[in-house]
Amino acid sequence: MTVLTVPGITNLRDVGGMPAGTSRIREGVLFRSGNLAHVGAEAQDFLTRRIARVVDLRDDSEVSAEPCALPGLRIDHIPLFAGSVASFLLGDVSLTGLYRHIVEGGADRVVQVVRILSEGEPTLVHCTLGKDRTGVSVALALAAVGADREAIVADYAMTASQLPESRNRAIAKWLEERLPIAHDAIAVATQSPAPVMRELLGGIDDEYGSAADYLLASGLTAAELEALGSALVG
């Protein structure tokens, strides 16, 4: 996986290069990032040259607050939460609980994301920070095609180091002042601990057999799963 520095796009990387059985995840096919609401000329040039399709996992309120105008790119809007980001912060849901909510309540939408990736076009998946919704959907797609488990976990955990420290401090202060009893809110807003993703993927293995079996049980076809492997591994 390669961190890419493009002004206007936060937490951007190409997940290609990680081991997948005897092969590797292809480079230049699956990208992930934070939102694309503040792209300038340099980011537009990158997106035009490297990306064919964008998957936006934000809810309607987030899209309205920070819309993305990306001429020439196909944008698929697939809200991955059954609810708003604010509702999870106010409800003091832990990262573990949040990810289980995505897996259990948003399985059909996770399948929609994976179905797009199976088409093999260079695709950028993003939410607001590129941490939770992006992290879960990308991890499941990679796990389903046999990417190395610890490489998937490391890719997820990398996000915390990509978020500006000034931004994290400001959010932590805001949450401490306004939601003093929401003990998990700061972690949800700022952290991506490796054990959380490791636990999520292990739990899916325990319940379904594998990430691939989870996707098949949620509506992905065997042909689409095979196409996903062809698109991502090589």
CA distance 89 to 91: 5
Q: State both tokens at 139.
A: 């991890």
- The CB density around residue 127, as the number of other CB atoms within 10 Å, is 27
Which is catalytic among the residues 15, 117, 127, 233?
Answer: 127
Strands 123-126 and 30-33: parallel
CA distance 227 to 120: 8
The letter for the amino acid at 97 is: G
| H-run or E-run covering 107 | helix 107-117
Q: Is 127 a catalytic residue?
A: yes
Is residue 113 within 8 A of residue 92, CB to CB? The reply is no
- Count of residues in the chain: 234
CA distance 216 to 229: 14
CA distance 56 to 124: 9
* Catalytic (active-site) positions: 127
